[in-house]
């Protein structure tokens, strides 16, 4: 993954609502969620949500598909993994201490 793409992704996630959207959609897997359901789950207005979804989709972190009258959004887990891999591999040069901390934190959360 190239640096400019990673920066765009990190910038898109650097907002509390957008980070909550990513968290919510990662948990939903490939099934994703309709925009209205995301709005209800997070208590965000439809217009506000539309802006945040657009930012995340433009950064490549979300995918969308039409289902009847609804737009279903899902996390692009490959893109999220690419950002994490870039941070660990390119930025941190796979520093063993950083990788160990990342692994420990992942285990504690999982």
Give me the tens of pLDDT residue by residue for the chain, a chain 110 residues long.
789 999 999 999 999 999 999 999 999 999 999 999 999 999 999 999 999 999 999 999 999 999 999 999 999 999 999 999 999 888 888 888 887 887 777 777 65
Position 27 scores a pLDDT of: 96
The structure tokens listed for 8 are: 């765009």
Tell me, what's the pLDDT at 77? 96
The answer to whether the CB of 72 falls within 8 A of the CB of 33 is yes
Which pLDDT value is given to residue 110?
59
For strand 33-34 and strand 62-67, is the pairing parallel, antiparallel, or unpaired? unpaired
75 forms beta bridges with 62
pLDDT at 96: 82
pTM given for the model: 0.87
**Euclidean distance between CA atoms 67 and 18, whole angstroms:** 23
- CA-closest candidate to residue 42, choices 11, 16, 62, 13: 16
């Amino acid at each position: 993954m190239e640096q400019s793409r990673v920066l765009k992704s990190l910038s898109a996630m650097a907002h509390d609502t957008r980070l909550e959207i990513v968290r919510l959609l990662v948990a939903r897997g490939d099934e994703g969620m309709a925009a209205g359901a995301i709005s209800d789950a997070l208590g965000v207005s439809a217009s506000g949500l539309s802006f945040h979804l657009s930012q995340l989709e433009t950064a490549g972190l979300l995918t969308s598909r039409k289902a009847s009258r609804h737009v279903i959004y899902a996390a692009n887990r490959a893109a999220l993994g690419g950002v994490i891999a870039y941070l660990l591999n390119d930025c941190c040069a796979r520093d063993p201490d950083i990788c160990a901390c990342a692994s420990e934190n992942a285990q504690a959360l999982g």
